[in-house]
Amino acid sequence: MFVYEKKLQYPVRIANPNPKLAAVIISQYGGPDGELGASLRYLSQRYAMPYAELKGLLTDIGTEELGHLEMIGTIVHQLTRNLSEKDIKTAGFDAYFVDHTTGVYPAAASGFPWNAASIAVTGDVIADLTEDLSAEQKARVTYDNILRLSDDPDVNDVIKFLRAREVVHFQRFGEGLRLAREKMDQKNVYFTNPAFDK
Ligand SMILES: [Fe+2]
């Protein structure tokens, strides 16, 4: 348990620009379930996590998500390189373009800028770990939706790698929750907090 192998990077080599696709993939850069929120959530939660194994797990996954943030930024950048006049008027990208030109800005596909309100750090072992399980599933759903919208094999290859990592993170946080239960109370099948629920 907790032999965790980080996978920080995967090559991003996108041949063809596609600004419309960039305008939705930006959500994994600065959207509510994106890689920026993921890394800050885990790297902030780790301080109050009482068990060394879980502190390490949050550090490992948090740093891995930072690597993934860079990959998403690279995808958005490569999809918006050398655009023509016609490209920047593409429906779906024009709203992004008017605010950011082709800079990579942490915002959701809806245009809402990254906001710390999209993550939680409660200092409670069970609350934080269950938030993390939910966050990984939401990230996986966002990648599922990107795959539904994209028919670019260069993009999909990278998105499938990132999606697979979210599935692994969900499994590791599940192990983390089981470990927390063992440490807190073996009989605590409902994951209540023994400090309050006697
Ligand atoms: Fe993740």
- Which residues fall within 8 angstroms of residue 51, CB to CB, at 6 or more apart? 125, 179, 180, 183
Ligand 1 center from residue 172 Cα (angstroms): 10
| Domain of residue 27, CATH code | 1.20.1260.10
Distance 61 CA to ligand 1 centre (A): 7
Return d(Cα 167, Cα 62) in angstroms, integer: 15
**Residues placed in the known binding site:** 35, 60, 65, 68, 136, 169
Question: Is residue 191 domain-resident?
Answer: no
Q: What would the pLDDT profile of 112-166 be if each residue is shown by its tens digit?
A: 999 999 999 999 999 999 999 999 999 999 999 999 999 999 999 999 999 999 9
> What distance in angstroms lies between residue 166's CA and the mean position of ligand 1's atoms?
4
Look up residue 8 and give its two tokens. 């920080």
Question: What pLDDT was estimated at residue 172?
Answer: 97
For residue 5, is it within any domain? Answer: no
**Binding site, annotated residues for Mn(2+):** 35, 65, 68, 136, 169
Predicted TM-score (pTM) of this structure: 0.92
Q: Is residue 122 in a domain? A: yes
Structure tokens at 42: 């885990």
Rounded to the nearest angstrom, the distance between the alpha carbon of 80 and the centre of ligand 1 is 25
Tell me which long-range contacts 124-130 makes (C-beta under 8 A, separation of at least 24). Answer: 124/193, 125/49, 125/50, 125/51, 125/54, 125/180, 125/184, 125/193, 126/177, 126/180, 126/191, 126/192, 126/193, 128/45, 128/48, 128/49, 129/54, 129/173, 129/176, 129/177, 129/180, 130/177, 130/191
Q: Domain containing 156: what range?
A: 19-184
Per the domain annotation, does 95 fall within a domain?
A: yes
Choose the weakest-confidence range: 5-19, 67-81, 91-105.
5-19
The reply to whether 134 falls in a domain is yes
Please give the distance, rounded to the nearest whole angstrom, from the Cα atom of residue 78 to the centre of ligand 1. Answer: 23
Q: How many domains does the chain have?
A: 1
Confidence of residue 186 (pLDDT cuts 50, 70, 90): low
Identify whether 133 is part of a domain: yes
How far, in Å, from the CA of 33 to the mean position of ligand 1? 9
Q: State the amino acid at position 197 in one-letter form.
A: D
Q: Which residue has the tokens 């890394």?
A: 39
| 65 Cα to the center of ligand 1, angstroms | 6
Tell me whether residue 1 is in a domain.
no
Annotated binding site for Ca(2+): 60
**Tokens representing residue 197 in the block:** 């629920």
User: Is 24 within the bounds of a domain?
Assistant: yes
Check residue 21 and give its pLDDT. Answer: 97
Amino acid identity, position 144: D
Kindly calculate the radius of gyration of the chain based on its CA atoms and give it in whole angstroms. Answer: 19
Using alpha carbons, select from 60, 65, 47 the residue that is nearest to residue 135: 65
pLDDT at position 162: 98
